[in-house]
């Protein structure tokens, strides 16, 4: 059996099974986060105006909960 086929079979068996439940829950209001994104003018004349905001999440204090 070729190594390519072996790797493909290994990945197929190692693939996680996902549930149909939601992955994320919107808790912004419960957490007290009030944010309105305003990115540039309405006509979007410049490339920088088309860019949006983002967020970073990681477990900063290693308590098992993601921190904003």
Per-residue pLDDT reduced to its tens digit, 7-51 = 888 877 776 666 667 778 888 889 888 887 777 777 777 777 777
End-to-end CA distance of the chain: 47
pLDDT of residue 1: 64
pTM for this model (two decimals)? 0.32
Residue positions counted in the chain: 68
Residue 66 has pLDDT above 80, yes or no: yes
pLDDT of residue 18: 64
The contacts of residue 41 (CB under 8 Å, 6+ apart) are 49
């Amino acid at each position: 059996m070729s190594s390519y086929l072996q790797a493909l079979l290994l990945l197929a068996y190692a693939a996680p099974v996902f549930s149909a439940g939601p992955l994320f829950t919107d808790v912004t209001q419960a957490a007290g986060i009030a944010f309105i994104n305003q990115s540039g003018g309405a006509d979007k004349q410049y490339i920088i105006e088309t860019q949006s905001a983002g967020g970073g999440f990681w477990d900063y204090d290693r308590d098992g909960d993601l921190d904003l």
